[in-house]
């Protein structure tokens, strides 16, 4: 982990960002007091996420697709009732 004051980071931002891209973490200080941290972001997913990972773990009943009653709709919409 690198500690650097604000002025140094502003002056050499490209150098510090290159080090962050290489995996290092930089603590930015204001007069040697830590105020922020710059660290690499997690790598983006390159493989597609598989579909259907939860298949068979729960069941959706037919009643789920039935329309709601007027009273239920009023409650859902936040109407006093």
Cα separation of 59 and 62, whole Å? 10
CA–CA separation, 5 and 38 (whole Å): 13
Task: Give the pLDDT score at 43.
Answer: 85
Query: What is d(CA 6, CA 11) in angstroms, rounded to the nearest whole number?
Result: 9
Instruction: Please state which of the four CATH numbers 3.90.1200, 1.10.1740, 3.30.460, 3.40.1620 is assigned to the domain occupying 2-38.
Output: 3.40.1620
Low-confidence ranges of the chain (pLDDT < 70): 81
Q: How far apart are CA 17 and CA 12, in angstroms?
A: 9
**Segments of 1-81 assigned E as strands:** 2-5, 26-30, 33-38
- pLDDT of res. 81: 67
Predicted pLDDT at 31: 95
Q: What is the pTM of this model?
A: 0.54
């Amino acid at each position: 982990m690198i500690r650097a004051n604000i002025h140094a980071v502003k002056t050499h931002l490209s150098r510090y960002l290159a080090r962050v891209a290489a995996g290092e973490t930089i603590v930015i200080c204001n007069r040697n007091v830590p105020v922020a941290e710059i660290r690499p972001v997690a790598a983006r997913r390159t493989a597609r996420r598989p579909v259907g990972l939860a298949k068979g773990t729960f069941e959706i009943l037919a009643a789920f697709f039935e329309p709601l009653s007027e009273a239920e709709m009023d409650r859902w919409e936040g109407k006093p009732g």
